[in-house]
Amino acid sequence: MTQDDYKLFTGQTVSYSSEDWATIIGIAEIRLASFLCLDTFPTLDETNKDLALLLANFLCAALKFQGAEDTIQSKSVRNFTINFKSSATNAFEQIYSQYMDIIEKYSNCGTKIKVERSDWHCCGYNNGFLNI
């Protein structure tokens, strides 16, 4: 992944030397492969641009909190205040919530979130239930 690809997928600009960028991408691929329970990270090509999108945003979350410690932040509205941690953990949870479909497509972890879906068919039976 080039720095231009990274900017395309994240909207963030970075300026590392070619050698440093290759190191950063290599580490991100290892970490993401581990997150996806893969032995090795797949080679990125035209058939898996969605995986490149996931890698770029995974890296973006990692770079955002590079070397930072968790911080407590507060937000107030009228007389109500909420405190929350701003951390890499929250960033990775956001990545999961935004790219769950891509994560599930490439994950070998064996656990996937399943969402119930209703099949609607006109005026017939489906699994013993009348669909209207």
Mean pLDDT estimate for the chain: 79
Centroid of chain to Cα 1 = 16
Q: What is the CA radius of gyration of the chain?
A: 20
pLDDT of residue 4: 96
Q: What is the DSSP-derived secondary structure letter of residue 98?
A: H
Q: How does pLDDT run across 57-85, given as a tens digit for each residue?
A: 999 988 877 654 555 566 677 777 776 55
Q: In this structure, are residues 1 and 25 in contact, taking their beta carbons and an 8 Å threshold?
A: yes
Q: Using CA atoms, how far apart are residues 35 and 31, in angstroms rounded to an integer?
A: 6
Q: Residue 12 pLDDT > 60, yes or no?
A: yes
In the predicted model, is pLDDT for residue 96 greater than 90?
no
Tell whether the torsion through CA atoms of 107, 109, 114 and 120 is positive or negative: positive
* Residue 116 scores a pLDDT above 50: no
Question: How many whole angstroms from its chain centre is CA 131?
Answer: 36
Percent of the chain with pLDDT over 90: 51
Q: What is the pLDDT of residue 92?
A: 73
Query: How confident is the model at residue 73, as a pLDDT?
Result: 61
Mean pLDDT of 83-91: 58
Q: What are phi and psi of 28, to 5 degrees?
A: -60, -40
- Predicted local confidence at residue 123, as pLDDT: 47
Report how far apart the first and last C-alpha atoms of the chain are (Å, whole number): 49
